[in-house]
Amino acid sequence: MEHQVISGLRAINRGVAIAVGLGLLGCAAFVLTDIILRRFGSSLGGTEEIAGYAMALATSWGMAFTLLELGHVRIDLLRSRTGSFARALFDLFSMVVMSGVVVTIAIKAWPVMRRSVDMGSRANTPLETPLAWVQVPWFAGWVWFATMSCLVTLAVASLILKGRAAQTEEIAGAFAEQETLQ
């Protein structure tokens, strides 16, 4: 069951990653258009601001995709020298720590986003972008990442408790080790 849940979440996150990638391509096209217009003495303006917003959104939403694709950087000096049960315990520990950090970030992001929405805050820039337009999806990305992290943690713990520690490798293992273990 754990693998089915993770597979479903991977499919959802691939869709999210495609949407985020298309957004980044749109942002790149916007910046490129602005650069070309500058050669002719004109400008769209605000490209730096919009690119910054795009990067914040891509980061918050991209973290969950990276997690499920085993792409987060880990220092596995000890983990790589142990058996499957000890590796599973290291994986569980790393997921518990990651979940704690990400849930904390999501909790701390809530008042930032809520204050902007409640006050109708706008960026202190020439575009005067309503901050809610950026902070609501940014916050949602952090909540999504926190949810994914907690679900992966629960899946790893479930596999360990069921005596299937070796199966945690494909859910929360280290990507660099995947080829050497197969």
Task: Dump pLDDT digits (tens) for 62-105.
Answer: 999 999 888 877 767 777 788 889 889 989 999 999 999 999 99
Q: What is the token pair recorded at 181? A: 């273990």
Which of these, 55, 64, 74, 73, lies nearest to 142 by C-alpha position?
64
Tokens of 80: 């790589």
DSSP, collapsed to helix, strand or coil, labels residue 81 as helix
Q: What is the pLDDT of residue 116?
A: 94
Query: How many domains does the chain contain in total?
Result: 1
Q: Which domain holds residue 11?
A: 2-181
Residue from 81, 91, 93 nearest 181 by CA? 81
